Amino acid sequence: MKIGILISGRGSNMVALVDAVKSGEIPTSEIAVVISDKPNAAGLEKARERGVEAIVIERRGRTRQEHDAEIIAKLKSLGVELVCLAGYMRLLSRDFIEAFPYKIVNIHPSLLPLYPGLNAQKQALEHGARVSGCTVHFVDEDLDAGPVILQRSVNVLQGDTLETLSERILEQEHLAYVEAVKSIVTGAKASIA
C-alpha cells in the first residue's frame, strides 16, 4: 500500500512508520512521500536521510481548501492510498476527507474522547488523571473524534512532569501507530466505510 505522511514538526511518529515499512514490520508498503506545511520541520531531514521524498507545501495565505487541493493533487499523483497524519497541525478541509474516505488516520496523545485538541498531556496532568495514553483513529470532519483504531494506555506516575509523561506516551505512540497501520495494510482493519 502506498502511504503518504503529513507532518508539521519533529516527525518522530513519521520516523517510526518509515522505519517499520523499511524493516518489513509494516509489510507490502511504501512511503511515497512526506509532506510538511512548515519549511523548518525537523522531520523533513529525517525523512530524506531515510531516502524518502520529503517536500514542503505551505499555506502561503491561501484558503484551507486551496492549500489542501495542492496536497491532495500531490498525494493522488503518487498513487497514495493511505494518509497518515503525524503531528500535522492543521485541520483538514471537507474536500481532503472526501478525497480519502476512511483512508486518513491520525495519532493523538490521549485516550480519546478524553483530552482532544492541543496540549493533551497537559490536560491529563491538570485533570489529575491516573491513566492516559494515545489513540490512533480515522479522521473525519470533527476534531480528534473519528472512529478509534487502537489505543495504548500509560500510567500517570507520582511526580510526573509534562516532559516525563509526554515522553512515555510518545514511546507508546510509536508502537501504536505502527501496529495500527500494519492492521490497515494487512486488511485486519481495512476500512469501516
Active site residues: 108
12 near ligand GRF, judged by CB under 6 A: yes
Greatest alpha-carbon span in the chain: 50
- Among the residue ranges 8-16, 52-60, 92-100, 149-157, the one whose residues contact ligand GRF (CB under 6 A): 8-16
Q: Tell me the sheet residues that pair with 85.
A: 6, 106
Task: Tell me the per-residue interface mask from 68 to 107 with ligand GRF, x by CB under 6 A, - otherwise.
Answer: ------------------xx-------------------x
What letter would DSSP give residue 147?
P
Distance CA 166, CA 51 (A): 28
Q: What is the DSSP string of 130-142?
A: SEEEEEEEE--SS
Choose one: 9-17, 24-32, 62-70, 183-191; the region binding ligand GRF (CB under 6 A): 9-17
Under the criterion CB under 6 A, does residue 133 sit at the interface with ligand GRF? no
C-alpha cell at 183: 492492521
Please identify which residue in 46, 67, 108, 137 interacts with ligand GRF, judged by CB under 6 A: 108
Percent of residues in the chain assigned helix, strand, coil, to nearest 5: 35, 20, 40
Name the residues that contact ligand GRF, by CB under 6 A: 7, 9-13, 86-87, 107-109, 170, 173
